[in-house]
C-alpha cells in the first residue's frame, strides 16, 4: 500500500435496483442477527461483563431494541488502561508491515460487509442509507489511508550528514491511548481514531459513545476476525463521565484521542494537564471538538446551487454533523431571492424512518438532543422570525422537523451556539466584507464555505475566512479522507487533521540515533 495509490471508497448508487436489494438484505440481516444482542467488553484479551448493563434503542423507533451493553465503572476502566500498558512493549515492537497488513485486511473485510455496517447505522443512530454508506466508506478510507501513511512515516527520515557519524531519526509509538469518539460518525471516527493509534504501534482503550456501542462492537468483532491481537484493543462501555474520565486521568495513559463536544473536550484538556501520582510523562491530547459553521452567499453567485448546498449541509443527518451549516450569511442584494428559493424546498422535506428507502431526513439521536433543538427553536422564535418549522413527523422517535429562522443578528445565541440539530439561522449582511467579518465572529473555526463568482472575493476569503476546512462554491460538509484533511481552529480543537498527511505523527515520537563510525 503506497499512500500515493490511495483512492476514496466509492459511494453506493442506490438508484440501482441491485444495490437497493443488497441494502434491504443487509437491513434484514442486521435485524435478525445483530439487533438485541448483549455485547461484552474486552479487557486484556478477555471478555468482561459489568455489574450492570444499559440498553440502546432506535432513535427513530423507540420500540426497537438495538442492544444491551456492559455498564462498567472506573475500576474496570483503570484495569483496561493497565492491561493496555502491559501489552504495549510487545505490540510496539511488531513490524510496521505486520500492523499495516492487519488493518488492510480489516479495510477489505469492511468493504465486503459494508452494507451490514451501514444498516446498523440506520437503526442505531438514525442515518439515512446514503449517510450511513458515507460513514462506512469513510471508515474504510481511514484504515487504508493511515496504513499507507504509517509505511511512509516508517521510511528513513532525512537528517543532515556529518562526517564520522551514522545518524538516523525514526518514529516510535508513544504508549497507551484513551480513545473517546462521538456517536455522530460512530463507525468512521471511532475506527479512524482507534486504527491510527494502533497502526502507529500504540495499545489502546476504546470507549465508544453511550449512544452507539453496537456498531463499535461489530467493528471490534471484525478486528478480531482479521487477526488483531485481542489484548491490544481494550473495549469498555459505560458513562463517559465515569469510564472516559477514569481513562483520561489514569497515570499510565500516555495520550488521549478525543472527538466530541467543546465542553467535554475542554474538561479533558484540563484533566490531562494534571500530573497524577506515578505519571512519567506529559499526556498528549488530540481533541476534535464542535463547530458553528457558516456558508457565505455573495451577490454574484449561482443562487440555485447555493440554496441546494445550504440545504444539504444544514439538514443532512438532521444537522448533527460538526461541519453542518447552521448559519447562512447572505448578501443583502440576494437575501430575498435566496429566501424565496430556500423556504419551499426546506418546507418540502419529509421525515421518515431512515431504514426506509428514500427517507433522507430522520430523527435526532436522543431525548437530550430533542430537548436541545426544541430549546433553540424557542430561542429562535424570540431572536428572529420562523420561516419554516413544524410539519408531520413519524410517531415513536425523536423527530425534529427542519427549521429556518430569518433576520438573526450576528451575535444572537442562534448565531453563536452549536445547536447540533436541523436549525438554520439566516443572517443578512450589507456586503461581502461584512459577511467575512460575521463568518469569523464565533469561538469556533471548523468548516465554512463561500458561494461567489468574484475572483477577488474568493482570494480574500481564502486568506481571511478562518476555518480548518474552507470550501468554495460547494457545501461545507462531506470532507473526504486524504482529499480534504479534516479539523478546525480555535475552540474546534487542537488543530489536528484527521485523514491528513501529518495525522499519524500525533501518535508517534521521534528518536534520534547517532552512531560514531570510523
Query: Cα-Cα-Cα-Cα dihedral of 267, 270, 271, 276, to 10°?
Result: 180
Ordered DSSP codes for 301-360: S-HHHHHHHHHHHHHGGGG-STT-EEEEEEEHHHHHHHHHHHHHHHHT-----TTSTT--
Q: How far is the CB of 423 from ligand NAD (least distance, A)?
A: 14
Which residues are CB-neighbours of 71 under 8 A, at least 6 positions away?
50, 51, 52, 53, 54, 237, 238, 239
Site string (317-356) toward ligand NAD, x via CB under 6 A = -----x----------------------------------
If binding is defined by CB under 6 A, does position 419 make contact with ligand NAD? Answer: no
- List, in order, residues 6 or more apart from 22 with CB less than 8 Å away: 115
Query: Binding of ligand NAD at residue 289 (CB under 6 A)?
Result: yes
DSSP state of 173: E
Q: What's the CA gap between 397 and 62, in Å, rounded?
A: 6
C-beta of 323 vs 452, nearer to ligand NAD: 323
Shortest distance, position 275 Cβ to ligand NAD, whole Å: 18
Listed residue (365, 362, 102) closest to 229, CA to CA = 102
Pick the binder of ligand NAD from 267, 374, 407, 413 (CB under 6 A). Answer: 267
Reduce the DSSP state of residue 205 to 3 states and report it: strand
**Of 260, 380, 397, 499, the one binding ligand NAD by CB under 6 A:** 260
- The correct pick among 492, 497, 500, 506 for binding ligand NAD (CB under 6 A) is 492
User: Rule CB under 6 A: is residue 443 a binding residue for ligand NAD?
Assistant: no
Q: Which window, 140-148, 254-262, 304-312, 331-339, contacts ligand NAD (CB under 6 A)?
A: 254-262
Task: Pick the catalytic residue from 322, 325, 418, 476.
Answer: 322
Can you name the residues that pair with 326 across neighbouring β-strands? none
Least separation in angstroms between residue 304's CB and ligand NAD is: 29
Tell me, by CB under 6 A, how many residues bind ligand NAD: 33
301 is catalytic: no
Min separation Cβ 244 and ligand NAD, Å: 2
Q: Which of 59, 244, 410, 448 lies at the binding interface for ligand NAD (CB under 6 A)? A: 244
**DSSP codes, 421-455:** SSEEEEEEESSHHHHHHHHT-SSEESEEEEE---H
Cβ atoms 295, 449 nearer than 8 A: yes
> How far lies 236's CA from each of 205, 306, 505, in Å?
7, 43, 26
The only residue of 192, 290, 422, 499 in contact with ligand NAD, by rule CB under 6 A: 290
The single residue of 76, 288, 383, 418 carrying the catalytic annotation is: 288
The answer to whether residue 288 is catalytic is yes
Q: What residues are labeled active site?
A: 288, 322
Binding residues (CB under 6 A) for ligand NAD: these are 180-185, 189, 207, 209-210, 240-241, 244-245, 248, 259-261, 264, 267-268, 288-291, 322, 418, 420, 446, 487-488, 492-493
Amino acid at each position: 500500500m503506497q499512500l500515493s495509490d490511495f483512492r476514496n471508497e466509492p459511494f453506493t448508487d442506490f438508484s440501482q435496483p441491485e444495490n437497493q436489494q443488497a441494502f434491504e438484505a443487509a437491513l434484514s440481516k442486521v435485524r435478525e442477527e445483530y439487533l438485541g444482542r448483549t455485547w461484552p467488553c474486552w479487557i486484556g484479551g478477555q471478555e468482561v461483563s459489568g455489574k450492570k448493563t444499559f440498553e440502546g434503542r432506535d432513535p427513530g423507533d423507540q420500540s426497537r431494541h438495538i442492544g444491551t451493553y456492559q455498564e462498567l465503572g472506573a475500576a474496570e476502566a483503570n484495569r483496561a488502561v493497565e492491561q493496555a500498558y502491559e501489552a504495549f512493549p510487545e505490540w510496539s515492537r511488531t513490524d510496521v508491515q505486520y500492523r499495516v497488513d492487519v488493518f488492510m485486511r480489516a479495510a477489505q473485510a469492511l468493504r465486503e460487509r459494508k452494507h451490514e455496517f451501514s444498516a446498523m447505522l440506520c437503526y442505531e443512530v438514525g442515518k439515512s442509507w446514503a449517510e450511513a454508506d458515507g460513514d462506512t466508506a469513510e471508515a474504510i478510507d481511514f484504515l487504508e489511508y493511515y496504513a499507507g501513511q504509517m509505511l511512509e512515516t516508517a521510511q528513513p527520515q532525512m537528517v543532515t550528514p556529518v562526517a564520522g557519524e551514522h545518524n538516523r531519526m525514526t518514529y516510535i509509538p508513544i504508549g497507551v491511548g484513551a480513545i473517546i469518539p462521538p456517536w455522530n460518525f460512530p463507525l468512521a471516527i471511532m475506527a479512524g481514531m482507534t486504527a491510527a493509534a494502533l497502526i502507529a504501534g500504540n495499545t489502546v482503550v476504546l470507549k465508544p459513545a453511550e449512544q452507539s456501542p453496537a456498531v463499535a462492537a461489530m467493528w471490534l468483532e471484525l478486528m478480531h476476525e482479521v487477526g488483531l491481537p485481542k489484548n491490544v484493543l481494550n473495549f469498555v462501555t459505560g458513562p463517559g463521565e465515569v469510564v472516559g474520565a477514569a481513562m483520561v486521568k489514569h497515570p499510565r495513559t500516555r495520550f488521549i484521542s478525543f472527538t466530541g463536544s467543546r465542553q467535554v473536550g475542554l474538561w479533558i484538556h484540563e484533566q490531562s494537564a494534571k500530573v497524577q501520582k506515578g505519571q512519567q510523562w506529559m499526556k498528549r491530547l488530540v481533541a476534535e471538538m464542535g463547530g458553528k459553521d457558516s456558508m457565505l452567499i455573495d451577490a454574484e453567485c449561482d443562487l440555485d446551487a447555493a440554496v441546494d448546498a445550504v440545504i444539504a449541509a444544514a439538514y443532512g443527518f438532521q444537522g448533527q454533523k460538526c461541519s453542518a451549516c447552521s448559519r447562512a450569511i447572505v448578501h443583502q442584494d440576494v437575501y430575498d431571492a435566496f429566501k424565496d428559493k430556500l423556504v419551499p424546498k426546506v418546507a418540502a422535506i419529509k421525515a421518515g424512518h431512515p431504514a426506509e428507502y428514500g427517507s433522507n431526513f430522520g430523527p435526532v439521536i436522543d431525548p437530550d438532543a430533542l430537548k436541545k433543538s426544541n430549546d433553540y427553536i424557542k430561542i429562535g422564535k424570540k431572536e428572529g422570525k420562523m420561516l419554516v418549522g413544524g410539519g408531520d413527523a413519524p410517531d415513536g422517535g425523536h423527530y425534529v422537523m427542519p427549521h429556518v429562522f430569518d433576520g438573526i443578528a450576528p451575535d444572537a445565541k442562534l448565531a453563536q451556539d452549536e445547536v447540533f440539530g436541523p436549525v438554520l439561522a439566516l443572517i443578512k449582511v450589507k456586503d461581502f466584507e461584512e459577511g467575512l467579518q460575521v463568518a469569523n465572529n464565533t469561538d469556533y473555526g471548523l468548516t465554512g464555505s463561500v458561494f461567489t463568482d468574484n475572483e477577488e472575493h474568493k482570494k480574500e476569503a481564502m486568506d481571511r475566512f478562518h476555518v480548518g476546512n474552507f470550501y468554495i462554491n460547494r457545501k461545507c460538509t462531506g470532507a473526504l479522507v486524504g482529499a480534504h484533511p479534516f479539523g478546525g481552529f480555535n475552540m474546534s480543537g487542537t488543530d489536528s487533521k484527521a485523514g491528513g498527511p501529518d495525522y499519524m505523527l500525533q501518535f508517534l515520537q521521534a528518536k534520534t540515533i547517532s552512531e560514531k563510525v570510523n
